[in-house]
Amino acid sequence: MNINHMLNEVLVKLFRNINIIEERAICSGEYKDVTANDMHVIEAIDMEGARNMTSVARSLGVTTGTLTISVNSLVKKGYVERVRSEEDRRVVLISLSEKGRKAYLHHQRFHEQMIEAIVTELSMEEQVVLEKALVKLDQFFHSSF
Amino acid sequence: MNINHMLNEVLVKLFRNINIIEERAICSGEYKDVTANDMHVIEAIDMEGARNMTSVARSLGVTTGTLTISVNSLVKKGYVERVRSEEDRRVVLISLSEKGRKAYLHHQRFHEQMIEAIVTELSMEEQVVLEKALVKLDQFFHSSF
DNA sequence: CAGGACTAATTTGACTATCAAATTAATCTT
DNA sequence: AAGATTAATTTGATAGTCAAATTAGTCCTG
């Protein structure tokens, strides 16, 4: 089996399962009520400061209407706080609650474990090659779409 | 910035955007009515022969109920054909129509271009390293979930 | 400074994807 | 032939998504 087939196979598998995999990782902890989508929103809001709906929606690549629904549920579950801006009362600022910040950090550990599992047993030179390949993949996506 | 952080960043980006990216690739062609999910079903049915619902559902990791809905829509759009098995009349065999096979091949080209973009400019030694890293990634997913 | 244009967010209506559980229909077993 | 099993579909519920309509607030211009 050549490298192209290998790569294709692994990438196809990732394409198909990446959400399922991440969902399982997210739900396997103490944060059973957090969906993969919820976690993406939590990651986008980020640890520090409060962001308005439009900018978070844009960085997630969804409409603000969609984000409103997601945030409704995250507020109800207690991960996110909603505050109307004082400067411009049209604007809604969203930020992570204490529980939200904890969930965020919990998920970061999943990412760290994943990276650890991959780079462990790879030499420095090999790590550099992997990085190079991933950057190429990223460029491919940016150039094509 | 160290290698772990870079790897994490690229992987997180992939995790977040991989479906959006593939969806755009699928819809950007002449097959505007094919969703990413539709394409996964088409890939699972495969070019040759007819497969029954249960086995396709299993290889997709969804329930047969879910697959029934997906196949309803694919049949309506003309990508998939449904035939009751003669040997066992409980069984439904699904296969790609001519249009379905064309869509499948069209999507394969996207995969090939992607692989090409990654492998190009990597030496043989580097390709071997990349393969090793991807096997690790795959193992991580299998062992953890 | 009032009316109109614009902007931010939410709501609404529609659709896709998903599951578990109930149902239907066919086959196998004893 | 009855009961158990199996394959697929249907049903009822939920999440995520968009486009378009709506609501509410701000800005601009005559």
Mean pLDDT confidence for A47-58: 91
Closest residue by Cα to residue B49 from B103, B108, B95, B83: B95
| Residue B19 pLDDT | 67
Report if CB B75 to strand D is under 7 Å.
no
Confidence of residue A18 (pLDDT cuts 50, 70, 90): low
- pLDDT higher than threshold 60 for residue A26: yes
| Residue B15 pLDDT | 65
Q: Which domains does chain B have, with CATH numbers?
A: 3-144 (1.10.10.10)
Q: Where are the alpha helices (DSSP H) in B32-78?
A: 36-45, 53-60, 64-77
Nearest 10 degrees: Cα torsion B3, B9, B10, B16: 160
Contacts with B4 from chain A: Cβ below 8 Å: 112, 115-116, 119
Chain A, nearest residue to B61 by Cα:
A17
Residues 30-49/A with CB < 7 A to strand D? 35-38
Give the lowest-confidence range in A68-72, A75-79, B130-134.
B130-134
User: Going residue by residue through chain B (145 aa), what tens digit of pLDDT does each one get?
Assistant: 677 777 777 777 766 666 667 777 777 667 888 998 999 999 999 887 899 999 999 999 999 999 999 999 999 999 999 999 999 999 999 999 999 999 999 888 888 888 888 788 788 888 888 888 777 777 776 666 5
| Residue A19 pLDDT | 66
| Residue A14 pLDDT | 67
Residues with Cβ within 8 Å of A135's Cβ and at least 6 positions away in sequence, in order, are: B10
- pLDDT higher than threshold 60 for residue A49: yes
Residue that wins the pLDDT comparison between B113 and A118: B113
- Say if the Cβ atoms of A137 and B118 lie within 8 Å: yes
**Residue A16 contacts residue B62 (beta carbons within 8 Å):** no
* Most B CBs within 10 Å, among A24, A104, A113, A130, to test the B interface: A130
Mean pLDDT confidence for A85-96: 96
D strand bases under 7 Å from protein CB: 6-12, 15-21, 24-27
- pLDDT higher than threshold 70 for residue A6: yes
Structure confidence by residue, pLDDT tens digits, A91-117: 999 999 999 999 999 988 888 887 887
Residues 20-79/B with CB < 7 A to strand C? 35-38, 61-63, 65-66, 69-70, 73
